[in-house]
Every structure is written in C-alpha cells, then in structure tokens.
Amino acid sequence: MRVEPTMTVAELLEAEPRVARFFVEQHLHCLGCHMDVFCLLEHVATFYNRPTLLQELQAFVDALGRPEEGTSPPSSPDDVPT
C-alpha cells in the first residue's frame, strides 16, 4: 500500500489498522481524535513538525508486509515488529 500525503488519518487506519501502533509509539495524538476524518497526513506532518513523517509511515507500512527472516507474517496487530 502506498501512503499518500492527501490521505486522511482515518483512511490510512481503515486501509491498514496495524498502523495505529506507529501513531502510539510516535506519541502522535491522532488515534481517537474526532478530526481524523478530515486531517490529511501532510497536515499531521506539519502540525507535529515532522518533515519525514510520510517516509516513516511508508517504511512502517512496508515493514508490515515483509516478515523478518525466519518468521511468519504477522497474523494480528500484536505480532507486528516494533
């Protein structure tokens, strides 16, 4: 999946719910925010002054699709590598 700057937080979470872990670990307060259906990822990057946020999110999403050597793919959000 491709992370686009014009995606809303809600769209990203709907497409890949396991990305919630990224928001929690990065102390981004998007989870549970009522603005998640309006807030674009590019706005989140600006608000939190994180110019590389989109690249970090993309790397996280890409890692979800790649099992580590010698392991099976994650079967649940709890199995996603940190």
Residue 22 has pLDDT above 60, yes or no: yes
User: pLDDT tier at 65 (50, 70, 90 boundaries)?
Assistant: confident
**Span 44-57, average pLDDT:** 97
Contacts of residue 77, Cβ cutoff 8 Å, sequence gap at least 6:
17, 18, 20, 21
Residue 74 has pLDDT above 60, yes or no: no
Please give the pLDDT value at position 19: 97
Spell out a b/e string for 10-38, using b for 16 or more CB atoms within 10 Å of the CB, else e: eebbeebebbbbbbeeeebebeeeeebee
pTM for the predicted model, two decimal places:
0.77
Contact 53, 44 (CB under 8 A): yes
User: pLDDT tier at 66 (50, 70, 90 boundaries)?
Assistant: confident
Whether the CA torsion 7, 48, 31, 38 is positive or negative: it is negative
